[in-house]
Amino acid sequence: MKTLSLDLTLATIQKLFQEGKCLTFSYQHIPAQLNYEMNLEYEFKQKYHLKKAWSLSNLATLAFDTYSQPFHFFSNGVLIHNFDPTKDNTPKLKKIERMLELHGYKIKEIYGPQTPFEYFIYDSFLRQINDFALLEYIPETHLEVIKLPDKKTFVQNCFAKGQVLLTSSKHSGIDPKVRDYIALLDDGSFYVSEDYSPKNPIKNPSIISHFMREYPNFYYLKRRYVPQDYLSALDEKAKSFDWYLPAQTAVDLKTSEREFSETALKEAGDYMQTLFNGRKCISITNPPIKEGDYKPEHDTYVLFDDGKLLISTALPNPADRFLIQSIEHCFQNLKLDVEYVDSYYIDLIYQEVAKVQKTAKEIYIEILKQKARALKKMLQIPHHEALELSAQIVGFKSWKDALSINEDNARYAIERENEKKKYALEKGKNPIEREYRLHLNNKC
């Protein structure tokens, strides 16, 4: 189907909304209690009837998880996109067509940019459509709470129309390691393990956004949080389809093709010897980034106490500039010496740092031990009970589970611990006593 031109005016937007409903606009700008991407189990823990529920829209049924979206679709079949006109966009349009068909819609007209200049104009036009929708539609009239279906029904619904589970498919190229916490289907349905909800204090929710940046060519509808065993059940069911790829086979296929020569390894070793000469890494834990600044991912940079800043060449532009700006705001007395290195260097450097400094995991375990000592004194309980309680208060089932936390989640958990302590002190409360009281309330 040929892409046509469109008169990009307010009158056109008004006409579009008169002739059809916009199904793809985002609710990100309205209050959280009306945002249907949230998992109400975490927002309303005290309201039993709302536990394990989703708040869904019967209007914006195809709203995306991120803004801005690459296209808008109206119920009368009109599709407006901002794809690069200098490239062949047929594969993208076929993906969209497949996604819409699985939801019961068919494309009748396609509008988009005809020249590189129009590409940016259409991007602005899509934002205007989204803003118009937020004014046009009243969320209270079409948001409803839906109980999370039982696991069997959930799995049946996910495959009812012939959907393909992209995170388990041999055609998608998605790393199989994500199957335990993410499920993405080709109709855009996007499910995330509730362990990675922003409300979980020990699992890093930014891992999900990292995944979405790693696979930007897929379409993600508003995410919904489900128990982890729901995702396992999806993968188990996927084994019955011919597009399924066993996890181990997928891992074997994705084994790194990089083969380092002895010369390359020697160069890397010599570089790191120079790098660690008298320097201390201060990015083992997340720096206290100020509100509104860019929050960097652990595997994109390394910062040393003398201002040496190594940034992965895989970090997209302008994210690298935002990273530098955030670090400058955070460490105002540090004169940065920026260097860009291949992404694999970042991993190698952190591996070497762990040999000479405490890791984030070690720092976090020490925080939990300090918490246990305070609980032991406060409650007059044995040390082993205090350790178990310390782990349970922050969200682990046991002290043994706490000891198994990985490095990335430890960085995030340290950050959350600092935030909780700061909040308690600002309120004039004892941080440990406050946490213990909240733990008792949540158990009730």
Domain span including residue 12: 3-147
* Pair (50, 129) in one structural domain: yes
Tens-digit pLDDT profile for the chain (444 aa)? 788 899 999 999 999 999 999 999 876 644 444 444 444 444 444 444 455 777 777 788 898 887 567 899 999 999 999 999 999 999 999 999 999 999 999 999 999 999 988 988 999 999 999 889 888 876 666 667 778 899 999 999 999 999 999 999 998 989 888 998 999 999 999 999 988 988 788 888 888 888 888 888 899 998 899 999 999 999 999 999 999 988 777 666 655 544 556 676 677 778 888 888 888 999 998 888 777 778 777 888 999 999 999 999 888 778 888 999 999 998 988 999 999 988 888 888 888 888 889 999 999 999 999 999 999 999 999 999 999 999 999 989 999 999 999 888 998 899 889 888 988 998 899 999 999 988 887 765
* Residue at which a domain ends, from 219, 253, 287: 253
* Pair (132, 155) in one structural domain: no
* Pair (112, 163) in one structural domain: no
* Pair (136, 23) in one structural domain: yes
* Pair (350, 366) in one structural domain: no
* Residue at which a domain ends, from 99, 118, 147: 147
* Residue at which a domain ends, from 119, 147, 175: 147
* Pair (167, 64) in one structural domain: no
Total domain count, the chain: 4
* Pair (228, 279) in one structural domain: no
| Per-residue 3-state assignment (H helix, E strand, C coil) for the chain | CCEECCCCCHHHHHHHHHHCCECCCCCCCCCHHHCCCCEHHHHCCCCHHHCCEEEEECCCCCCECCCCCCEEEECCCEEEECCCCCCCCHHHHHHHHHHHHHCCCCCCEEECCCCHHHHHHHHHHHHHHHHHHHHHCCHHHCEEEEECCCHHHHHHHHCCCCCCEHHHECCCCCCHHHHHCEEEECCCCEEEEHHHCCCCCCCCCHHHHHHHHHCCCCCCECCEEECHHHHHHHHHHHCCCCCECCHHHHHHHCCCCCCCCHHHHHHHHHHHHHHCCCCCECCCCCCCCCCCCCCCCHHHEEEECCCEEEEECCCCCCHHHHHHHHHHHHCCCCCCEEEEECHHHHHHHHHHHHHHCCCHHHHHHHHHHHHHHHHHHHHCCCHHHHHHHHHHHCCCCCHHHHCCCCHHHHHHHHHHHHHHHHHHHHCCCCHHHHHHHHHHHHHC
